[in-house]
Amino acid sequence: MILNQQFLKKLRSAFDLNEYEVKIWTALLSKGSASAGELSDIGNVPRSRAYDILESLEKKGFIIMKLDKPIKYLAVEPKDIINRVKKDVQEKANEQISMISELQGTDVFSDLNKLFTNGIDNVDPTTITSSIKGRKNIYNQIEIMLRSAEKSVVISTTKEGFERKFENFKFLFKKLKEKGVKIKLLTPEKIDDKDAKTILQSKLVPEINSRFILVDNKELMFMLTDGSVEDKTDMAIWVTSPYFVNAMNSMVNLTLN
């Protein structure tokens, strides 16, 4: 049995299986019922490993062992596996969230904060400049910046870029407005979203061609691409240098006036 390697790779990632497990599992799915020797041949897996792999898949709930002679194995229906895996992932995630939440109220969390505070006091703010790769990581940092905002947030982006950000941070934007934080948007295209218009102030600047976020005139994130690249290759620079941030703030004020 020859299966597309990309297909097998996706299965391994989705179901947290190793190479031999996914080969034996797909081999059994194609047969419905088979012995260890048959699955070894079909999946091109060493016979010396077949029984260990089958035992592992049985424990994970992917297969069932039939009490025949010779012993044969049955494939579990994929939809049942997906439901079970989703449930397991959700339970593990809930446990992890609970552990992290409980940690926040302990001495361990307090000690972590002390370590960070002691460390950051020794850092020259003009040196806090970091590159961030991947839109997911960029958005994670943007969320941290927004949550710390106390006075103002300025966003310069494309129409498509704003739509992505508004979808991700709509709830947070609302919270910031309730807190009295002024949110301003610079964009070369008109924003039609009614909810967005009630939350932030927008200014149409047709000639602008930049993507950045400025928070409280203290920290800045500017993107190195136009936003049309793939999520994984999007790049940004995060800066807290007072000189650089103030210079950018001055330019923004000239644009807004």
Tell me the C-alpha to C-alpha distance, in Å, between residue 63 and each of 3, 37, 56, 209, 234. Answer: 20, 16, 9, 56, 41
Do 130 and 192 share a structural domain? yes
Count of domains in the chain? 2
Do 225 and 154 share a structural domain? yes
Do 221 and 144 share a structural domain? yes
CA 114 to chain centre: 28
Do 235 and 141 share a structural domain? yes
pLDDT value of position 153: 92
pLDDT value of position 204: 83
Cβ-proximal residues to 230 (8 Å cutoff; 6+ apart), any chain? none
Helix (H, G, I), strand (E, B) or coil at 158: coil
As to burial, measured by CB atoms within 10 angstroms (0-12 exposed, 13-18 middle, 19+ buried), residue 92 is exposed
β-sheet with 235-239: strand ranges across: 129-133, 235-239, 219-223, 212-215, 152-156, 182-187, 201-204
pLDDT value of position 127: 52
CATH number of the domain that residue 71 is part of: 1.10.10.10
CATH number of the domain that residue 180 is part of: 3.30.870.10
pLDDT value of position 119: 58
- Which range marks the domain in which residue 44 is found? 5-79
pLDDT value of position 172: 92
Do 178 and 70 share a structural domain? no
Task: For residue range 26-36, list pLDDT tens digits in order.
Answer: 989 888 888 88
pLDDT value of position 117: 65
pLDDT value of position 207: 77
Task: For residue range 69-123, list pLDDT tens digits in order.
Answer: 788 888 888 888 888 888 888 888 888 888 888 777 777 777 777 766 665 455 4
Question: Among 79, 113, 140, where does a domain finish?
Answer: 79
Do 240 and 159 share a structural domain? yes
CB crowding 156-192: b at 16 or more within 10 Å, else e: bbbeebbeebbeebeebbeebeeeebebbbbbeeebe
Which residues of the chain have a pLDDT value below 50?
A: 120, 123
Do 168 and 252 share a structural domain? yes
- What residue spans of the chain are helical by DSSP H? 5-15, 19-31, 36-43, 47-59, 78-103, 107-121, 135-148, 159-178, 194-199, 242-256
Do 252 and 129 share a structural domain? yes
pTM above 0.75, yes or no: no
Residue 225 included in any domain: yes
